[in-house]
Structure 1
């Protein structure tokens, strides 16, 4: 059976008259009757009860008609759906992101994209940059918000675009300030940074961030005393609140309020953390193309970190 037979059945079922159904379909009655009989033979049961004066649906025909009409409506909608998929108005956008992006660029971008393309399903997966990159190369995600290596040495199949550059600040336990271990939250001094135990991402999962922080300690003339490592920023802040140590975090982490933690700027020139978007070169899915166009519209606010 095919779509043409479904249309024949629906026309006869709605008119209960082979002649009027044939007129609606723009065909003559004999081939319409033959089409219905062929459909009934394939089903192994009659769809209509025919008399010289009347045509009516059988029980099978009555129960089958709503499903046939639903299927025909879906078929008729296919060209419209294809155009919407082509234009990225519907479909799916798969986006991975580092945990730090959850407090900076991610919420605003997702909100604005959802407002512009409400019928697109957004799949979000949190992952460290080292996990994201091979997944992006393999095509498992459309794009990923990452912290790039200091030398920008990404796989050649990926395209990279900077989204945000922001200074690092210190997250310190409230108790340290209350006890005078940190003199003031107006600016953490060089001596205080070097004297404080540090909580940090492991180098193997966040090499760029790790090197940025340890390089800052080296520039201050000292070495970071790492007392604990964690792979999620929320965990790092929780460890700070417990008094275990201090953490250097992106300035956008001020959006993560946590009891027992105070955020303070670093005295002097602070290191800056860059966050960017990576995606595969070549054919760009329509949903991703629209996401990139949204980034074009947001470029000024993204670049200066005001998003």
Structure 2
């Protein structure tokens, strides 16, 4: 069987007349009759009950016709589907992201992409930068929102585009602010007030750039950071702050994560955290091109 036989069968089934069906198909009647006979032979049963005056579908023909029409419609839609895939209007986009992006660039980026390409499936995966980078290199993700390593030392296969730079703020137990344990002047916390404070921080193994940014803020003032607890999820870090285990230096956008018992306080001369998008230079996926266009690449 081939697609032409399906079209021949459908034409005869819908007109119940070999002559009119042949005319509709732009062919003569004898080859159309031969095509139907060959199809019936392959199926091992007749599709039409023929007399000199009429043509009727057999029970097999009646029940098979909807399946044939469905298959023909799917075939006819293939070229349009290919065009939409080529133009990035359908398909899927795999995007990984660090947990901090969930409170800054991710929601707006996903919203704008979904509005521009409503028929593209967006597959989101939360992961730390150290996990994302090899996954993007391996082609397991189209792109990743990461905190770039020092000097943006990324594999040669990857391209990078900065999305946002934002200052760090202190997320502190609210009780420490209320009882004066953290002296705040003009709504700003001085570096000296932080030097002996217990810190909750990402492990360096999973977030070296963020870890070094925070610890460097202390070492630049001649005092090592006093890390009392580590966690790999920003939500967990804020929960530990809420429990009074310590304070954390977090991106300013984390103010969007309201949590009882946590106060966000600006820092004097704060370190600045950069977040950006990475993708494989050789990746020509149309859905990725659409994403890059939205961020101005």
TM-score for both structures, normalised by structure 2 = 0.98
Cα deviation, residue 232, structure 1 = 0.6
Number of positions where the alignment pairs a residue of Structure 1 with one of Structure 2: 296
The SS at the match of 1:195 is coil
Structure 2 regions of 5+ residues with no counterpart? none
Who is 1:233 aligned against? 234
Output the CA distance in 2 between the equivalents of 1:51 and 1:260: 87
Give the stretch that moved more between structures: 47-56 or 242-251: 47-56
Who is 2:135 aligned against? 135
Who is 1:8 aligned against? 8
Who is 2:17 aligned against? 17
Who is 2:114 aligned against? 114
Who is 1:220 aligned against? 221
Output the CA distance in 1 between the equivalents of 2:284 and 2:144: 14
1:32-76 CA distance string (max 9 Å, x none): 111111111111111111111111111111111111111111111
The SS at the match of 1:151 is helix
Q: Please give the residue correspondences for 1:47-126 in structure 2 after superposition, counting only pairs within 5 Å.
A: 47-126=47-126
TM-score for both structures, normalised by structure 1 = 0.94
Output the CA distance in 2 between the equivalents of 1:284 and 1:220: 46
1:180 matched to 2:180? yes
Output the CA distance in 2 between the equivalents of 1:16 and 1:203: 75
Structure 1 regions of 5+ residues with no counterpart? 298-307
Cα deviation, residue 283, structure 1 = 3.9
Moved beyond 2 Å, runs of 4+: none
Who is 2:148 aligned against? 148
Give the CA RMSD over aligned residues. 1.1
1:289 matched to 2:292? no
Who is 1:26 aligned against? 26
Output the CA distance in 1 between the equivalents of 2:26 and 2:256: 66
1:168 matched to 2:168? yes
Give the stretch that moved more between structures: 277-286 or 227-236: 277-286
Cα deviation, residue 170, structure 1 = 0.3
1:203-225 CA distance string (max 9 Å, x none): 00000000000000111221111
Output the CA distance in 1 between the equivalents of 2:62 and 2:182: 80
Who is 2:196 aligned against? 195
Output the CA distance in 1 between the equivalents of 2:284 and 2:147: 22
Who is 2:248 aligned against? 247
In 1, are the aligned partners of 2:142 and 2:283 still within 8 Å (CA)? no
